[in-house]
Structure 1
């Protein structure tokens, strides 16, 4: 079983922000424990007491809000964020990142959240389909931060499974998404950092975080499947799937 942990960055209704991102990390079930352990070890190196409750929330780390306000300068906190993103490098076995980036003005008549979720489901399903072709059959579940639009996304996922989406019907997702409190799982926190890294790169041309993980987005040979971008410049996508 593969679990795709997902979070978003940016605000769809906020007109002062140009981009919205939905992104995450797909890991094999046994890798969950190991990434949780690696992030907990990093948390203990940052703060000695109650390290388990230190949440890796990228926006708070960048801005120095809440508990991160007392944990070093801005440069130090940004370095911690890079270190947290590098933790996944310690995983053994196959795993991948996924990200959907939309410049909102490029899709004035589209439901951006629905579009991003549809793209994410399709690309995760395609990742699992390629594994099946290599005689490694796996199924997948999507796990999201409960702050996203829970009921609506569950309805979308059920509709995709029953009736399909614009690229067909997903074959490898076993259920509708599950929603959890990000404070309770390091993996959703990692997804938050991936989404933020993409958002900073496209919204503010700040590539420090994305440079750490750019090579980890799902690909097969030269074909990039894990990163999909819609912008005013190209009016289409980058990293389109070859079915």
Structure 2
């Protein structure tokens, strides 16, 4: 039995505020789940994030209030948290007093997403994310599947589906083929289950899509090894969904900004067969020379 944890990066809306939409799935066999989870928990604990989610996009951004606190890097973690909390309260009160309601709401939302990380410097937060990516790169038992869609080259009329629907169908198809391939190598019939980040906007859509795939198959294959519809879980409570989040983020940042540090770590886990990286695809112009397109 294999579990495939799924999360996304970027917006599926066209044009949206990102040029790419990436849906990533990380598959691990159930007999390795506990070991993998313990490794991630151990890393979180070293950085004082025992009960916090590893949300990569929020971890690696700059927190301006940290740069405004004198000698911030030399403070202990408790003092750092206290100073940032005070700075944020002052900022929110200022926005309220000056009637900047929209800015107040956005700042409050951003602070809620990052409050768990403010005891860490930007350098430490980047080190944390890199350490997790390095850990994942060593999981020989894990496989990465991803559909990376360049929305400039996506035509929903021609595709007869939306961006996120195509991405989901591709992940399902590749995971299904992987399960069949493991039969050949292990001499046993393997099954899989999809575990999806809880997202109200896609939960019903992807559930109905999966029911249709079970009944009629995808564009590429019948579904025989993936059981049930996706299980939707709270990513704050599920370490492996957080790994899928990191992978989708790393792929998107590589394709949009040329950032290779995280990409090179997680891409080593992409599903490969006969020297080709079939597990990860970049849907874009045929002239693209990125590492994904070269070896797909």
The answer to whether the superposition gives a TM-score over 0.5 is yes
**Rounded Cα–Cα distance in structure 1 between residues aligned with 2:261 and 2:138:** 20
Q: Is the 8 A contact 2:137 2:268 kept in 1?
A: no
What root-mean-square deviation, in Å, do the aligned CA atoms of Structure 1 and Structure 2 show?
Answer: 1.9
Residue from 125, 130, 133 that aligns with 1:85: 133
Aligned to 2:21: 20
Q: Is the 8 A contact 1:105 1:232 kept in 2?
A: no
1:191/1:44 Cα in 2 relative to 1: closer, same or farther (>3 Å)?
same
Question: For structure 2, which runs of at least 5 residues remain unmatched after alignment?
Answer: 63-113
Aligned to 1:197: 250
Residue from 118, 121, 146 that aligns with 2:169: 118
The equivalences for 1:98-109 within 5 A come to 98-109=145-156
Instruction: Report the Cα offset of residue 63 of structure 1.
Output: 1.3
Deviation by residue 1:158-198 (Cα, 9 ceiling, x = unmatched):
10010112113121111111000001110001110011000
Q: Is the 8 A contact 1:24 1:190 kept in 2?
A: no
Q: Is the 8 A contact 1:219 1:226 kept in 2?
A: yes
TM-score (norm 2): 0.74
Residue from 53, 56, 62 that aligns with 1:55: 53
Task: Kindly name which structure, 1 or 2, has the bigger radius of gyration based on alpha carbons.
Answer: 2
**Rounded Cα–Cα distance in structure 2 between residues aligned with 1:80 and 1:37:** 15
Q: Secondary structure at the match of 1:21?
A: strand
Q: Secondary structure at the match of 1:136?
A: coil
Q: Is the 8 A contact 1:20 1:199 kept in 2?
A: yes
Q: Is the 8 A contact 1:9 1:192 kept in 2?
A: yes
The equivalences for 1:224-235 within 5 A come to 224-234=277-287
What number of residue pairs does the alignment pair up?
Answer: 234
Aligned to 1:68: 117
Q: Is the 8 A contact 1:19 1:199 kept in 2?
A: yes
Q: Is the 8 A contact 2:193 2:230 kept in 1?
A: yes
Q: Does 1:94 align with 2:95?
A: no
What stretches of structure 1 move > 4 A for 4+ residues in a row? 237-240
